[in-house]
Structures are given as structure tokens and as C-alpha cells.
Structure 1
């Protein structure tokens, strides 16, 4: 690893040439087989304990294991913690909703729709497992309050039973991961950050093209790691220090990236300001090297589990408008589907509404809600078919737990292997099929073999997925291009509000990471489709202008007192005008004033030069990007 050569150079050189090839069996790596085995063992342990304790909601423990089926220990435990928290909140909300609105059928459905919308909104304002927790609050109310809609007095016992089963599932996952030594996530995360560091250094050295789409893609890859570093907290006793180190490395990566873009944008020749440009280029190179060294220091701290040199914050950007529109669509979709079931008067509507709320909640944390609904439509029949084959062909009336464990092994291990695949489509399909299969199978002690109940459950489960997809077609979510343009408009408005006098709570490095998170959302919203070059160019232009403004303001604020205060104020006014020529003239004046005073203002001057180019009038370009 390049950032740790001083600590172990011989080891790296010795192992790089003779790295062992991973063991592969039946097309899957040994690590995938170990992961699948852990999932099956944890699920069987959870079911055994639930049966032994005679819990009413024993299948919820198996569902918990299926949901927490993640390849590393830290990822699973972090998600488990949020699952327990969201379950507690959902149970309390279920008791409140059922206690107040249990006697008002129409109003109760409306309140449930509002709760679904509220959970979708909160999920839209968060990321990672925090967003999953918000979605799970919606799912918990669906599984507790809706399924007990005709017996409100059973809401509290049902909630307690579900909480107990989830707790057993969490403990089973933790126990199996500990006994079988599930891998830690921080080595993989460190290797990914090191790969991004190499890409950023390549950009800074000018060896990589300055295409806006490529630059936006690099920012996307950096900001996309933000939700993953939170899992390091639960990985070990030094997880908090490792999380801070990883966060600082990401923030400094974005900072080095932005400085590299400034350096690349400087013209090779500038007759009017040759000295200023050369000075700026030298300072930027020095600063990039300093940021690169800090990234290496943070990576060393990540490996060793120590605190970084500086604990940066990595703020998240979220659009309230996009979250509110998604919440409105979720609430309306749930209410329309509930009204449909009320008008039809079909039986087992509680199960359908529960699954509808679950699919809406999970789709809200997906980058493409319609694609998720489509995958759910495909996964549900497969899950029902697998559950039917297990129940009536494999188990065929048996009640012994040993036979249940043996019968579930091929399906659970096979689907877990599918989850371990790098293909996101197949991995998502495998996870949904595993969860839906357990939900339809409903392992109990003793096992029920009523074919009419199973057929009705399967039919209404498939119908629920189809209705959610139909609601997505009737009320389509924002397209990727529309979401990208909304985020770009918010970036423009935020840029126009940046001024030179108002204090900010975020350091320039932290604000730059927040802007990078917005670009990551623009690219994620577009899915697999290529990003419009004009949107990418405009997004990167806004990113560069905001970054230069914040950095210039921070450096000029340090010159508020003393002989350079007047020249610094003139520079701030030029920045407020967004006039490239005026900014360049202010930089020249500041340099002359500093020379006469015998003081140094190199940082402010060096940053004003890229700012003058960032706010220069755009020249026509064949690719539609900033030249």
C-alpha cells in the first residue's frame, strides 16, 4: 500500500509479485461460501432459540438474519443496531396510532398513509443504515398496527413479540459472526480509499483528462463511501477512531481533488499575470502534496486504529424538495392501494397492506424506486415458488427441527451466494427472494401445512408487489434527469448566496465534501444511464466556483487585521461581484501591498488566481464543458 511504504516496504514488495489466487468452488469464492454458511447457521440458531422460547413471532428472527446478511461483521452489527432502534420507535408509533384511531376505519388508513409518507421523507433526508431505520419504522407499523387492525388490544403484545424475535436474530448474527471470525471491513475500506487516492494524484499530476464527467465520477466514488464508514464504529473497540480516520481521509481526498482541478484549470501562459500564475501553480502543488500526506496519515490511522491528525466532519447534502415529493408519492400510493382493498372487500387485506408498506418503505431508500419495485415484482413469485417447494415437497409434513434446518440449507445458502455477487441487480434480487421466502414460508413450531392459507398468502403477496409497481407507474417518481436538474438548480442558488462576510459553520474542506455528496446524488439519480455532459459540466463548474469562493474567503478573513486589511477587503468585493478581471486585479494589488509591507499573503493570492479563471466568461467548447 503506497501510504505505508515506510512501515513495511519489504512485505509489500515480497507479496505483490506472488499474491495467492482466491479459492473458487462452483464459481464462487471461498469467502462467499463462508458468508453463506454464516447466514444459514445464524438463521437456524435464531429459529431454534425462538422455538425453544415459544415466541409467537419466531419467523421474525429468521427475517432479521436475512436482512442482516452482510459480508462483514461491522456492517451487520451497525444495521442490527438501527434495526433495534427502528423497531422500538415503530412499536411505540403502532401503539399510539392504534390507541387513538382504532375506531375510525377511514381516518386510520389516512393516518397510516401519513405515517408512511413521514417515514419516506425522513429516509430521503438520511443515508445508509440511518435511512434504512427510517424505512423500517414504516415497515414495523405495517407489521404490527396494520396486521392487528381488527384487534387493537393485541398491538402491544404483537410489538413485544416482534421486538423479542428481532433481538434474538441480532444476537444470533453477532454470535455466529464472532465464533466463525467474520472478516472486518476496515481493510477493504482502506484499500478502496487508497485506490481513490491514486486516482486523485493522477489527476493532480495532469496525467488524466479534465473531462467533467470523469471528474464528477471520481467525486461520486469518493462521496459514495460516506455511509459505509459508519459501520466501523461497531466493528471493534477502536472503531470510533477508525471511523474518524476514514472520514478525514475522504474529506482530504475531496480537498486534494478540488486543488488538482484548480491547478489543471490554470493556463499554461498568461502574459498579463505570468508571475501570479506561476506563484499560484507552485502554491497549489505544495498544498496538494500536503493534502496527499494527510490522506496517507489518515490511512495509517485507519489501519492502526488511532485518531487522525484532524477529525473532519463529512456532512451530507439532501434536497428537502426531492424528499418531500417522494414522501407525497409514498403516502398517496399507500392510501390508494388501501382504498382499493377496502372497496374490493377481499380477505387477508392486512397482509397485503403490510407488504405494500414494506415495499414502499424499502423502495424509498433505493436510488431508483421504480427499478426496486420491478425487482420486487420478479422476486415475489420466485420466493413463493421456493417456499411452496420447501413446504410441500421438501418438508412434506415433518415437524422436526433437524429436518427443517437441512431442508432450508440449499435455499438459504444458494440465495446467500447470490447476495455475495458483485452484480447489484443479482445481489438485490437474491436478498429480496430470501426475505420474501421467509416471510411467505413463516417457519413455526409446529409448522403449518394448510394449502389454502399458503395459496392465499402467495397470491396476495404477489398482488401487493404488482400494486406497488402499478402505483409507481401511475405516480412515477422523479426521473434521474429531473432530479439532477433540481439538484443542479439548488447548487446554483446556493452559489449565488455565497458572500464574503457571513460566517459559516463548515470549514471549506467540509463544505467541499458536502458539495461532492450532492454531485454523487446527481450521478446516482441517473442510474446506469450516462450523465448528460452539460449537466456534468455545469455541476463541476458550480463545485469549482463554490470551492474557490470558500477558500478565498477563508484566507482573506485571516487578513482582516493589519496592513493588508484594505487590499483584502477589495479582494472580497471583487469576489462578491463574480468578476474574473476584477479578482485578478485584486490579487495583483494584494501582492503589491504585501510586498511593500513585508508580509506574506501567498495563500490568498494563490487562490485568487484560480478564482479569476473560475469566474471568467465561458468560451464555446465542442463538448459543452468548461475548457
Structure 2
């Protein structure tokens, strides 16, 4: 985004107008912490209407729920302040843990719950009688800021996600079409085909992030949302199909068993037919989304039943980061208790924010250092506002002019840099912006700044104690998760859901692609992992079907799954089970019954995936 891009300055103007209106109304109605309303405008305002509504709803809900929780803690533990601090720390850590597990916009509400609980319950532990007033004031100020953002956005250049949605969806479909062309024309292993494949996988994951905001965009109808979900679901199903189609040319020509080769060829023909039908449905749904073309009744019904691609939680990472949050909280509260520092609660708050918001990133330490740097810049900005600007603002018009000189350029920067929002929010949050300005003593201001930076630095050390960082480690962790998930599918019937397994596997593959190399590099990270995905889906199908069969075929499938499990447990070559798999294929071909076709499909899928899946497991062992 260029510096003179009109969209950048429209966003800055909207942010500034919302902040000034919120400040004026707060002063007018007599709310005591007017800067809370202004900071809320800085945080909630977004270039798109859907994102504003999303953050507004969850910020308000998180704040309100935390206010109620704080009052409940105070009513039960007001006479035992140390226990109240412990309980508040545990509850806020659990809230941050929920935010780490929930990869939807709802996570923001859980984060704000944890932040508000620290502000109300922990910072106010010495004066529990004032907690009710603090909670009510914070809810009112934040509600006011949210209302002002919504009001300004509704009258000043509201921006829907719909245009971006159509543009990005067309790009995604172009990438999928390129991959289909590659698969159909036999371009199996060149860099262009690998790049097309990688783009599609990253696109499918990106659609989930976009889908999370669609429900809150008033300009995107329910039907359009369902069309996006339906297209995403079909693209998800197309990925393993295309990978299997490309694997066919690598596996079948070298197969010396004519019967097995014939069965694989039959499976390939069925796969092409299903892929063609599915891609045709994608085209029809896209035509309905973009041009309003009516769909057949049965397809329209399936579109209404579509759901967004779920983003599975990373439980292991969430547990480690939660441990870092609790450790930072304990250390900072201990420092506060030992020294009796009046600004100890502020250090606790900033430490929790640093780990809770940035601790799950691959380079969490670097991210927290960046947060510390921007926080230091924000504190310098707060000093300029508090001791340079506000004392000269004799009336409201002068205040508006002075703040405009700061907020507009920083707001324009924030349109493309989320850290600039932190700069503005923390800067304004550390000023005593009230109806009548009375600057705090400069030494007190410096002490507050020191506590903020100390909390962030302690947070940085704590996150380094509880987890390893770096993209390479994240990729290895995802590879290990793939192996564990595959083992679980072979063991547990309740985990043997092919679509659920595909969701989890594709999410991991997208994460590995993004960390391993640029999408356009043609790196082959996706190929072996897609083979594992196809193997896992085939195993999941066989696991489900084995429970519904009886006789020799069931015994053969169970024996096959046992062999796969043994290979995974001992990191042996899965290629060793190929003779057993070929016998199962011949037996299934000769069998009768309604499940025969499904068993055949699972066995064919596993047979095509086996060579690459075995190599991928050995490489990641």
C-alpha cells in the first residue's frame, strides 16, 4: 500500500473521527476514563466493515464477561487478596489458552477477557470496593468506542469484503484450474506444477480466515457466504484427488502385476470422472455467487448445508504458551509482592499481553522484542502528548487539531502495519486524557513506563523458557503431528473420519509450505505430505469400513491396518506391506456386497499413496 493511497487516508480519517466523537461524548456524559473510549476506537477501527463488527462484538463481550467475573471474584475473595490474585491469574491464563485454541475471530473475545480481568481484578485488588465502578466504567467506555466506530464506518466510506472476496476467490479458482490442467496434461514434477499445487493449499487455508469475517459483513448475504463455504469444501476434496491423479502416472507404469495395475487403472478412471463432476459443481456455484445464476435444487440444498473449513487447534503449542503466560504472571506478581511497587500491576498486565498475544508465533521472542520497541516508541509518544500537546490545548478545537497532527499520519501507517495500532493505542492509553487535563508528575510517568517495559522483557524471557522457536522447529513439530495423527487413525474408529483427517492434514501442510519456502519457489514440501494425506484418508476409510464387514475381507483389512501401525510405530518402510495390500485388492475385487466399492476405493488410494508416503515418513523420522 503506497503512502498516498486514498484508502490509507480514508481509514486514518475514520479512525480519527471515531476517536474524537468518542472522547467528546465520554466527556459530555461524565465518564471518568475518556482515553479508554479513544483507545477502543484505535483498536476496533479496520479498513473493512466486517472486521470492525467482528472485533466490536468480541471486544465488548470479552470486556463484559470479564467485568462480571471480576465482581464474582471480589465478592468471594475480597478478604483474601493473595488468593484473589492467584485465582485471577489462573482464570486469565485459561482465557488466553482458549484464545490460542480457537483460531476464529472469537479468540479476540477471550483475549480481551483475560486483559480486562487483570485491569479490574488484579490492579484493583487493594480496593475491592471500587471494582464495581471500574468494571462499569470500562464496559461503558469500550461500548461507547465501539458505537462510535460503527457509526463513523456506516456513514464514511463503508467497505465491504465482497469485492475482495470475489477477486481473491477468482484467483484461488485460477490456481486450482492451473493445477487441474497440470494433472490432466501429465506435468507431474516440474516447478510450475509444484508451485500451482502449493498455491492451492495455501489458498484453501486462507479462505477460512476470510470466512471468519463474512458472517459479520452486512453487505455479504447468507447465500454468498454459503457459496464460499461450498466452494471451499469442494476445493478441499479436490486436493487429494488431484494428488492421487498425478501419483497414478508415477506408480502404475512400473507395476508388474497386471491385475493390480488394472484395478488401479479402473480406480483412476473413476477418480477422473468424480474430479470432473466436482470441478463442474465449483463452476456452477461460482457462477451463482458472481452472477446470480440459479442452481439446481439438489445442488442448492447442498450449498445451504456447507460449512467453513475448520481450523484445528494446536493443543501442544497452546499448552506451552499458557505455561509461559502463567510463569510470567507468577514472576511479575512475585516481584510486585516482594517490592510493594505501586506499578507492579501494570507490569503484570503488559507481561500477560506480550505472551498472550505474541507467544504462539514461530518467532515469539522476536515478536515480543518488536512489541517492546513499539511500546517504547508509544511511551515517547505519550510523553509528547502529555507534556507537550495537551498543556497547550486550551479548548476542544485546539485539542482536535493537535491530536489530528499525530493520529492521522499514524492511522495511515496503521492501515498496513498492525504494530502502528499498538503504537497509537499504548501512546493514548498512557495519557491522562480527561475532561480537564491534569498531567501526572513526570517521575510517576517514568515509573509507569518502566513497569510496562519490565513486564514485556520478563514476558520475553518466560516464553523462551517454555518453548523452542523458529520456522524449522515448527515444521518438524508439524511433521511429527502428521505421524501421530496417522497412527491415531489406524487405531481408533472414532478418529477415522476421512474428511476430518483431511482438514487437519491440509492445515498442517499449509503451515509447512508457508514456513518452508516461498510458494513460487517450486519447493516439493507439499508433494510427500499430500501422499501422507491420501494415505491417511484411505486408512481412515478402511478403518471405518472394517467395522461393518465380516469374514475374510475384514480380517485382511484388519491385518493390513495392523501392519501399517507396526510400520509407523517402528519407523519401518511402509513399502513392506505392499504385497499384503495387493492381496487385499484382489480379494476385494472378487468380493460382493454393498461395501465392496468403498473398500476397493480405499485400497486403491492407499496403493497409489504408499511409495511417496513411505518415503515421506522415512525422511521425517
Tell me if structure 1 keeps the 8 A contact 2:81–2:126: no
| Counterpart position of 2:280 | 293
Counterpart Cα distance in 1 of 2:119 and 2:242:
51
Counterpart Cα distance in 2 of 1:113 and 1:356:
12
Tell me if structure 2 keeps the 8 A contact 1:276–1:606: no
| Counterpart position of 2:389 | 394
| Counterpart position of 1:101 | 77
Could you say if the C-alpha distance between residues 479 and 235 of structure 1 is closer, same or farther in structure 2, counting changes exceeding 3 Å? same
| Counterpart position of 1:158 | 134
Counterpart Cα distance in 2 of 1:73 and 1:588:
58
| Counterpart position of 1:464 | 455
Corresponding position: 1:355 with 2:350: yes
| Of 584, 587, 605, the match for 1:586 | 584
Q: Per the alignment, in what secondary structure is the counterpart of residue 249 of structure 2?
A: coil
Deviation larger for 539-548 or 127-136: 539-548
Q: Per the alignment, in what secondary structure is the counterpart of residue 71 of structure 1?
A: coil
Deviation larger for 77-86 or 479-488: 479-488
Q: Per the alignment, in what secondary structure is the counterpart of residue 266 of structure 1?
A: helix
| Counterpart position of 1:255 | 237
Q: Deviations over 1:486-515 (max 9, x none)?
A: 443333233223259936695x33441232
Residue 64 of structure 1: CA displacement? 1.3
Tell me if structure 2 keeps the 8 A contact 1:142–1:358: no
Q: TM-score under structure 2 normalisation? A: 0.83
| Of 95, 100, 110, the match for 1:124 | 100
Residue 240 of structure 1: CA displacement? 4.0
Could you say if the C-alpha distance between residues 243 and 34 of structure 1 is closer, same or farther in structure 2, counting changes exceeding 3 Å? same
Residue 608 of structure 1: CA displacement? 2.9
Corresponding position: 1:224 with 2:206: yes
Tell me if structure 2 keeps the 8 A contact 1:224–1:517: no
- Give the length in aligned residue pairs: 587
Q: Per the alignment, in what secondary structure is the counterpart of residue 346 of structure 1?
A: coil
Corresponding position: 1:147 with 2:123: yes
Deviation larger for 203-212 or 54-63: 203-212
Q: Which runs of 5+ in 1 are unaligned?
A: 1-23, 422-426
Corresponding position: 1:381 with 2:379: no
| Counterpart position of 1:84 | 60
Could you say if the C-alpha distance between residues 198 and 560 of structure 1 is closer, same or farther in structure 2, counting changes exceeding 3 Å? farther
Tell me if structure 2 keeps the 8 A contact 1:584–1:609: no
| Counterpart position of 1:63 | 39
Could you say if the C-alpha distance between residues 239 and 616 of structure 1 is closer, same or farther in structure 2, counting changes exceeding 3 Å? same
Corresponding position: 1:277 with 2:253: no
Residue 152 of structure 1: CA displacement? 0.6
Q: Deviations over 1:370-424 (max 9, x none)?
A: 2331121111121122222233333333242222222122322222222222xxx
| Counterpart position of 2:316 | 321
| Counterpart position of 1:418 | 413
Tell me if structure 2 keeps the 8 A contact 1:247–1:311: yes
Q: TM-score under structure 1 normalisation? A: 0.83
| Counterpart position of 1:113 | 89
Tell me if structure 2 keeps the 8 A contact 1:59–1:439: yes
| Counterpart position of 1:36 | 12
Counterpart Cα distance in 2 of 1:324 and 1:580:
39
Tell me if structure 2 keeps the 8 A contact 1:353–1:464: yes
Counterpart Cα distance in 2 of 1:246 and 1:135:
28
Tell me if structure 2 keeps the 8 A contact 1:113–1:331: yes
Residue 459 of structure 1: CA displacement? 3.3
| Counterpart position of 1:433 | 423
Q: Deviations over 1:258-317 (max 9, x none)?
A: 111111111351442443333222222222222223333444455479872641352332
| Counterpart position of 2:226 | 244
Q: Deviations over 1:82-139 (max 9, x none)?
A: 1111112211221123333333344333333322321222122111322222111110
| Of 365, 371, 386, the match for 1:370 | 365
Counterpart Cα distance in 2 of 1:471 and 1:573:
48
| Counterpart position of 2:339 | 344
Counterpart Cα distance in 1 of 2:438 and 2:285:
55
Tell me if structure 2 keeps the 8 A contact 1:132–1:365: no
| Counterpart position of 2:215 | 233
| Counterpart position of 2:483 | 492
Deviation larger for 404-413 or 265-274: 265-274
Q: Per the alignment, in what secondary structure is the counterpart of residue 336 of structure 1?
A: helix
Q: Deviations over 1:133-179 (max 9, x none)?
A: 21111100111112212111111111111111111111111111111
Could you say if the C-alpha distance between residues 291 and 625 of structure 1 is closer, same or farther in structure 2, counting changes exceeding 3 Å? farther
Deviation larger for 579-588 or 173-182: 579-588
Q: Per the alignment, in what secondary structure is the counterpart of residue 436 of structure 2?
A: coil
| CA RMSD of superposed structures (Å) | 3.7
Deviation larger for 231-240 or 119-128: 231-240
